[in-house]
């Protein structure tokens, strides 16, 4: 599921970036993957407040979710969520 994620940025405006939700777990938590050294991770460590912008149909259906980002470095979870297409988003693949 493709969304736009905003937040993390300090100052009056938030950075916005395209992301893919890899999983929604039983608790309703959304899982996304980003590189350990990404600017996004750095921003979210400073300010974890985020908004996710969803677009449904091509005519309308919009949803905005607000929440708190947390960064996890669990290799088992990364392996579970990994798909070859994600490789393009990582510097070393």
pLDDT per residue as tens digits for the range 22-49: 999 999 999 999 988 888 888 888 888 8
Q: Where are the domains of the chain?
A: 2-85
Mean pLDDT is lowest, of 11-15, 25-29, 44-48, 80-84, for: 11-15
Percent of the chain with pLDDT over 90: 33
Q: Give the Å distances, CA to CA, from 63 to 6, 8, 9, 33, 51.
A: 14, 20, 21, 21, 10
Measured CA to CA, the distance from residue 85 to residue 87 in angstroms comes to 5
What pTM, to 2 d.p., does this model score?
Answer: 0.80
Q: What is the pLDDT of residue 88?
A: 84
- Residue 3: partners with Cβ closer than 8 Å, 6 or more residues away: 18, 19, 20, 21, 52, 53, 54
Q: What is the pLDDT of residue 82?
A: 94
Measured CA to CA, the distance from residue 30 to residue 45 in angstroms comes to 17
């Amino acid at each position: 599921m493709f969304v736009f994620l905003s937040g993390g940025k300090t100052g009056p405006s938030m950075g916005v970036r395209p992301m893919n939700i890899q999983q929604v777990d039983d608790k309703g938590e959304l899982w996304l993957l980003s590189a350990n050294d990404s600017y996004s991770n750095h921003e979210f460590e400073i300010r974890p407040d985020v908004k996710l912008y969803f677009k449904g149909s091509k005519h309308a259906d919009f949803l905005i979710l607000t929440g708190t980002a947390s960064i996890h470095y669990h290799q088992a979870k990364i392996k579970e969520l990994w798909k070859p297409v994600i490789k393009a988003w990582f510097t070393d693949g």
